[in-house]
Structure 1
Amino acid sequence: MRTQMATPHESMPSPTHAVYAISVAAELAGIGVQTLRLYEQHGLVTPARSAGGTRRYSGDDLTRLHRITTLTGEGVNLTAVARILELEDTVARLRAERDRLRAKST
């Protein structure tokens, strides 16, 4: 009997599932571990923690890290990055709420 292999997409964790250790997340984001810790200190990213306190990053965290590195690469300071991310999060929430209300009214 032949078993079917999972496609790469099927074997990937969901974007919200925190699975990456700090060293892996830093490597995937193209930054140093200390830089990643600095971003956490500034509240730019908040990884999940294991029962033992180990940081675990998700695909969504990696997306956020790429956005942070893009902004800092353009010369934006960390205080401004925090504000930009806050505004982008607010816009995303408002769009989701708008879409939910539109779907409900149809």
Structure 2
Amino acid sequence: MDPAGRDARRRNPYELTDESPVYVISVAAQLSGLHPQTLRQYDRLGLVSPDRTAGRGRRYSARDIQLLRQVQALSQDEGINLAGIKRIIELENQVSALQARVAELQQAVEGAAVAMRQREAQVHASYRRDLVPYHEVQQTSALVVWRPKPNRKRPE
């Protein structure tokens, strides 16, 4: 899976999602409010990585358009340079990947807990019913001496 999580659309090419590459560069520029040359520059810098057609034409997804708007807002409204924006995007992608991993591990832990409870129930169900419960014995000062019988040798 690539960092943008685009492997899902390759499974079913007819399903349109936010990750589906459907917009040519001129439409993406219009939707994002940026000049097409700016989109090309962002692609070269690795800020936004649109899919490519067989003829190497760029195809942008709805997620790419959203990312372009975010880049523009960070640059114009917050005054962050492009290197800073690229680092922010990388960190956001890492956070998303880590959150997905945490969710995956939580599911694994929950599954292991369920399996453990089931196994524990099986073990309890297998207990013999004739076991005698143990009761705490009061301590006394009595002393009991036990002497084993001497070993008798068998005649040979």
Q: After TM superposition, is the score higher than 0.5?
A: yes
Matched, 1:33 2:27: no
Which runs of 5 or more residues in structure 1 are unaligned? 1-11
Tell which has more relative contact order, 1 or 2 (C-alpha 8 A, sep 6+). Answer: 1
Alignment partners' CA distance in 1, 2:71 and 2:50: 15
What is the root-mean-square deviation of aligned Cα atoms in Å?
Answer: 1.3
Q: 1:83 aligned to 2:87?
A: yes
> Which residue type is aligned with residue 82 of structure 1?
K
Of 97, 101, 105 in structure 1, the residue corresponding to residue 101 of structure 2 is 97
Amino acid at match of 2:36: V
**For 1:16, what is the secondary structure of its paired residue?**
coil
Q: Which residue of 1 aligns with 2:152?
A: none
Give identity over the alignment, percent.
43
- In terms of Rg, which structure is larger? 2
- SS where residue 94 of structure 1 aligns? helix
The answer to which structure has the higher helix fraction is 1
> Residue in 1 aligned with 2:26?
23
Q: How many residues align?
A: 95
What amino acid is the match of 2:81? N
